Amino acid sequence: MSAAKRPTPRPGVMQIQAYVPGKSAAPGVDRIFKLSSNETPLGASPKAIAAYKTVAEHLHDYPDGSATALREAIGRVYGLDPNRIVCGSGSDELLNLIADVYLGPDDEAIHTTHGFLVYPIATLGSGAKPVVVAEKNFTADVDAILAAVTPRTRIVFLANPNNPTGTYLPFDEVKRLHAGLRPDVLLVLDAAYAEYVKRNDYEAGIELVATSENVVMTRTFSKIYGLAALRLGWLYGPEHVVDALNRIRGPFNVTAPSIAAGIAAIEDRAHVQTSIEHNAKWLTWLTDEIGKLGLQVTPSVGNFILIHFPEAKGKTAKEADAFLTSRGLIMRGVGAYKLPHALRMTVGSEEANKLVVAALRDFLNGKAK
């Protein structure tokens, strides 16, 4: 066997399409409203910011490697056993840890057509094969997922609500999905936007995790808590899953400032409630007002909307994106999510939301930038 001339990545790695975040700049524009990354327009809790600053005097000290105080705070808020919680550098790290633990060569992991881009990245990075399952009306299809399960299936990734479509599966459908899976298949419920959902038939996954041996739920502090810059997430799972993840998790994967800010953020229920109310008001307003312009908006339960554009020249999503960017309104193109004719918009401040509707009206009416 001939020796390779240089180190080579393992199979699957070079198939990965690197994740490209939403743009954040508009050259030549004085004032920018970034609506491309689903960040909260209300910012972090003042209490979280204050807690973050208190750690500045102790930057020479390693953080608690188990994030004990943060896990206990999460446990108090949600009524969970802290020993069944794992904290990570964003839920992205936790999703990758799950793939590293449970996937290998010849294994398969399922995700849906418009599911979060980290799922195929984590799958391929672990040497496994991503299996893409078609959605129905931009929503995960339980029957299609179950039909795609093979003896090689090890993980099913389900974003609920889903990014970038904003759609969700009712809890009864999630339970039906779980009931149809083999006990050795891990169902990963990615509930990054759960705090925003106000539907009676929705449940983030806590109940299913509590009563199952093959379900985990991931959450994030990047969205409603406004701590995206700190990269902080958490997972709730069965003890045997938590034990396995902790064996490969970095010993200091969550920083001390993140721990302090996370505790303050999750305990500031007033700030969270204000964020929920702001989002509920403007999510409805944007859906209605943009719909009145003649554009289709996929009904969303998150803090963002998916706006569909016609393919006609002068009206396309690409042209709309350029028009909006020229006015400092930065959206997210979602071609990588197989949605080339749509833009995703984060629910922003009152000013930003109204500016977007006005700009879309001008764009559709053919006005100059």
Backbone dihedral angles phi then psi of residue 86, each to the nearest 5 degrees: -120, 130
Same domain, 216 and 140: yes
Closest to 237 (Cα-Cα) out of 63, 101, 65? 101
Closest to 228 (Cα-Cα) out of 297, 303, 284? 303
Same domain, 237 and 307: no
* Those residues with Cβ within 8 angstroms of residue 159's Cβ, 6 or more apart along the chain or in another chain: 112, 115, 116, 190, 192
Same domain, 39 and 100: no
Backbone dihedral angles phi then psi of residue 333, each to the nearest 5 degrees: -70, 140
Decide: 275 and 266 in contact? Cβ < 8 Å: no
Containing structural domain, residue 76: 47-267
User: Could you tell me the CATH number of the domain that includes residue 290?
Assistant: 3.90.1150.10
* pLDDT tens, residue order, the chain (369 aa): 556 788 888 888 888 888 777 777 777 788 999 999 999 999 999 999 999 999 999 999 999 999 999 999 999 999 999 999 999 999 999 999 999 999 999 999 999 999 999 999 999 999 999 999 999 999 999 999 999 999 999 999 999 999 999 999 999 999 999 999 999 999 999 999 999 999 999 999 999 999 999 999 999 999 999 999 999 999 999 999 999 999 999 999 999 999 999 999 999 999 999 999 999 999 999 999 999 999 999 999 999 999 999 998 889 999 999 999 999 999 999 999 999 999 999 999 999 999 999 999 999 998 877
4 inside domain: no
Same domain, 290 and 260: no
For CA atoms 229, 119, 189, 184, give the dihedral sign. negative
pLDDT of residue 221: 98
Same domain, 83 and 159: yes
Alpha-carbon distance values, 213 to 111, 121, 122, 242, 333 (Å): 20, 25, 22, 11, 38
Same domain, 80 and 213: yes
Sheet of strand 332-334, all strands in order from the earlier edge strand to the far edge: 296-298, 304-308, 339-346, 332-334
292 inside domain: yes
330 inside domain: yes
pLDDT of residue 14: 87
Last residue of a domain, one of 221, 249, 267: 267
12 inside domain: no
Last residue of a domain, one of 251, 267, 283: 267
pLDDT of residue 313: 87
Same domain, 256 and 338: no
Q: What is the secondary structure of 63-79 as a DSSP string?
A: PPTT-HHHHHHHHHHHT
Decide: 355 and 33 in contact? Cβ < 8 Å: yes
235 inside domain: yes
Same domain, 29 and 164: no
Same domain, 91 and 167: yes
Same domain, 185 and 77: yes
Last residue of a domain, one of 241, 267, 293: 267
Q: What does the block give as tokens for 356?
A: 């977007």
**How many structural domains are present in the chain?**
2
169 inside domain: yes
pLDDT of residue 10: 84
Same domain, 77 and 103: yes
Angle between helices 350-364 and 269-292 (to 10 degrees): 10
d(CA 329, CA 36): 9
Same domain, 254 and 275: no
130 inside domain: yes
Q: How many CB atoms lie within 10 A of CB 169?
A: 22
User: Could you tell me the CATH number of the domain that includes residue 208?
Assistant: 3.40.640.10
pLDDT of residue 307: 98
296 inside domain: yes
pTM: 0.94
